[in-house]
Amino acid sequence: MMKTNRVKKLLNSGRLAVGQWVGLCDPAVVEIMALAGYDFVAIDLEHTMFDLQTVENMVRAAEATEITSLVRVSSLDPKMILRIMECGAQGVFLPHVRTADEVKLAVDAAKYWPEGDRGISGVTRAARYLAPDFMAHTRVSNEETMIIAMIEEAEAVERIDEILAVDGLDVAFIGPADLARSLGILGRKNHPRMAEAVDRVIETHRRLEKAHIGIACFHSMYDPPLETLINKGIRCVTTSPTDTALLLRACREQVQMAREAERK
């Protein structure tokens, strides 16, 4: 039986859910993120060489350390989404969403009937290999599974009303890097067009009162004070840089300290 989704619980109580992207191919990274105090890990299948067995082991590590496991799929392929759900992940990030129909297909792939059209198997890891009460498993899975649409295309911003209106969508998550690319402002930090796009997504959320809004914060393309974003209604964030960049930064700092000590 799927555990309580910590992120959903935080969002539904108006709290901030804080996560980190995982690009290092080792379940130990998930454990480290849990020990650091993150609420969720965003396991990245879009920009990494992970295989699905690695993802499954990362999900196991998340369950063992009480951190929510969310997976960014490499495409919006319903079969890929199904396989991610069957390994026990608690939700999916959908990259490069452009339309409401794409979100609806993802909801169908991730949620069981009657909320979706997920394929049936009672012998997967998600179902604990032989669910004693499969219908109870489907109900709990539907309650705890998260669907997160990444808003990183100008087209998605233009269609944000219809995207946010999709039943089953939990979070519209703004990705500043690709959104900057799509808006034609890549490399121009805190550009007014970016601020306008972010504000449009947030204002639509306020008007419709559907789905939560998330963003990658402390980002090289867009980094207003986090307090400002929270006050505007942001409730789900990933911190930048990624785990790989954090490791590189820490190593560089230690090398620099050693070199400076040598020069003294």
The DSSP output letter for 45 is S
Distance of CA 117 to the CA centre of its chain: 22
Tell me the three state secondary structure of residue 1: coil
Q: Give the DSSP letter of residue 57.
A: H
The C-alpha atoms of residue 173 and residue 91 are separated, in whole angstroms, by 13
| Annotated catalytic residue, options 47, 137, 191, 219 | 47
| Residue 254 vs residues 28, 29, 117, 242: alpha-carbon distances, Å | 22, 20, 51, 18
Please say whether the beta carbons of 88 and 2 come within 8 A. Answer: yes
**C-alpha span between 198 and 175 (Å, rounded):** 10
Of 153, 144, 162, 156, which is closest to residue 210 (Cα–Cα)? 162
Answer yes or no: 219 catalytic.
Answer: no
Tokens of 36: 């650091």
Asked whether 194 and 220 are in contact (CB, 8 A), the reply is: no
Catalytically active residues are: 47
